[in-house]
Amino acid sequence: MPTRVRSHAKVNLGLGIGAPRADGFHALATVYQTLELHDVVTVSVRTGGPRAGEETEIRLTSNDRRVPTDGRNTAWKMVELALAALGVSAQVDIHIEKRLPVQGGLGAGSANAVAALVGLDQELFGAGEVAPFQRNWTGQSLEIAAKVGSDVPLFLIGGTILGLDRGQEVYPLPDIEPLWCVVAAPAVGVSTPLAFRDWDALCAAEGLTPEASTDKLNKLSRAYASAFAGGIPRERRKAGSSGVPATDGDLAGPEESALVRTGITSWIQNDFERVVFRQHPSLAEIKRLLAGSQTPEAAHPDSSLLALLSGSGSALFGLYLTRKDAEAACERLQRAGVKVFLTRTLPREPYWRDMLEVS
């Protein structure tokens, strides 16, 4: 029977970028946060025994025409590399049911890759739960994931995660308390290569060298680790079935968020906003609507704890303590003609516990 896996989105709770390195890549420091919002990846497998036997065949379909259905797809790459690592040939069918924006800075394609790996593991080893997957693929899966894409490894951890180097070097942080999240998916598209080219030009203009970048990002990563060190108080961790405490339905977590207690929202930022907002001024306006500012000149948000571009965009997000504030942000954006998703942040334990869809 095919295995259905939830493929969760992520946002970046801040993103610092360095100057271009000699290898053409950019070092960064970021905090990833997984969300309840997800695609669904369905995997079915027929094995052909050792690689000396039948050749591996991968077939991929999707309900969204924009999703590649060949070897360019991250899920395809992940399954192909995993089978090679196992020395097994198989006929694998993958279907990606897209619910997330494509190329929106939410890590959707990278999450699909990890979901496909989880589905492959379930089909091959038949455990019926995700925990054996983590035992079967400890270490090896991170190496495979890093070959597929820089932000693929984060989805092998889930929850709140520190990302370094190109983003593929990941460390679990203590989870923040669940918060309501509004994801704005503008119709405008952002070119990541163009965003990096504009960033490189800005670095040159401001004299930011790779050496200076190292110091900048080291300080930022230490600040992130310190700010998120508290995490969810132990007495609050066994909350609801999806990590959300049982309340009147308005609060997504405790009455005070760690983001407020630590003061991180006063300095957290996404460096891409400096160049992407120049390319697409409408995205800056969407950020203002997410924040709840009543006028463009307002210095501080009225309702959100944090509002930022995610990755290089074009998706943006806002975090809210209450559902009422989140729904008000949804209404502001919908009146402006922007597509929105109402969801919540997803801690590590429910991320893994609820990954498999039960028929």
| Greatest Cα pair distance in the chain | 67
Whether 339 is catalytic: no
Active-site entry in 151, 271, 325, 354: 151
DSSP secondary structure string for all residues of 263-307 = -GGGT--BTTHHHHHHH-HHHHHHHHHHHT-SSTT-SS-SS-SEE
Place of tokens 């679990």: 172
CA atoms within 13 A on the CB side of 57: 8
What is the bridge-based pairing of β-strands 57-62 and 88-97? parallel
Whether 77 is catalytic: no
Q: Please list the active-site residues.
A: 10, 151
